[in-house]
Amino acid sequence: MNMTGNTILITGAGSGIGLALAEEFVALGNQVIVAARSREKRAAAERRGLTTIAADVSESASIAALATRVMQEFPATNVLIHNAAISKREDLVRGGDSQLQEETVATNLLGPMRLTNALMPQLLQQRSAAILIVSSGLAFVRSAFVPTYSATKAALHSYAQSLRFQLRDTAIRVIEIAPPYVQTELGGRSQATDPNAMPLRDFVAEVMEILIRDPDVEEVLVQRVLPHRYAAEQGRENYDAFFRKYHSRAG
């Protein structure tokens, strides 16, 4: 992936990881378009000099409108970053929340799939292109407290692998970014100041360092996510022990 001279669309980039990535890519000489559904978050991004588009990736019609506008107004768009996501705790014993589950799947999984489909013709026309998918360390060791979120991130990891294989003979590179627990408001306001979470700026700085150092990287893994990423490769006993330890801290 080229790190400069791109036109980049980032979903869910009105705050958190998406906004921080947007600012870093602008600093490197890229044009960045921020797609977000919150008017307040779009306004915050605009105050930072970013171009914004209103979009809700949980709705297929909104995705179609977003793709049409991007192709018409930003025909040089060659990088797509799927970052939009929601994460909420669920009590499955009490019956769960079907509406929340459907919204989570629509936003976290169907959104990236639908937007990729819609923009694929555009990306295939570019001399150099990339699709970056923000998954999670929970794609590899799930959190039982956010089961649907964890399931969607595991599915995104699988989807990224399949997409990468099918695009192997094209100019489109597929890169997965798997964050650890980061200080954002994804899981609520308290997460943004949780000392157990990785500071946002530290995370984004390490991500950019990896991308600059290895433009052909397939998975961007900061040091703090490595225990999650490779827990299963240490054997079932180690995985189970890691799962128990993680939930003793996260409960």
For residue 160, the domain's CATH number is 3.40.50.720
**Residues carrying an active site annotation:** 149
Question: What is the reported pLDDT for 48?
Answer: 87
- In a domain, residue 241? The reply is yes
Contact 179, 225 (CB under 8 A): yes
Instruction: Give dist(CA 237, CA 65) in Å, integer.
Output: 48
Contact 25, 8 (CB under 8 A): yes
- In a domain, residue 39? The reply is yes
- In a domain, residue 1? The reply is no
Q: What is the pLDDT along the chain (251 residues), one digit of tens a residue?
A: 899 999 999 999 889 999 999 999 999 999 999 999 989 989 989 988 899 999 999 999 999 999 999 999 999 999 999 999 999 999 999 998 999 999 999 999 999 999 999 999 999 999 999 999 999 999 999 999 999 999 999 999 999 999 999 999 999 999 999 999 999 989 999 999 999 999 999 999 999 999 999 989 999 999 999 999 999 988 998 899 989 988 886 65
How many domains are there within the chain? 1
| Long-range CB pairs of 227-234, under 8 A, 24+ apart, other chains included | 228/137, 228/138, 228/140, 228/141, 228/178, 228/180, 229/137, 229/140, 229/178, 230/140, 231/140, 231/141, 232/140, 232/141
**Structural domain of residue 185, as residue ranges?**
7-250
Question: What is the reported pLDDT for 243?
Answer: 92
- In a domain, residue 193? The reply is yes
Question: What is the reported pLDDT for 215?
Answer: 86
Question: What is the reported pLDDT for 234?
Answer: 81
Question: What is the reported pLDDT for 247?
Answer: 87
- In a domain, residue 2? The reply is no
- In a domain, residue 139? The reply is yes
Question: What is the reported pLDDT for 199?
Answer: 97
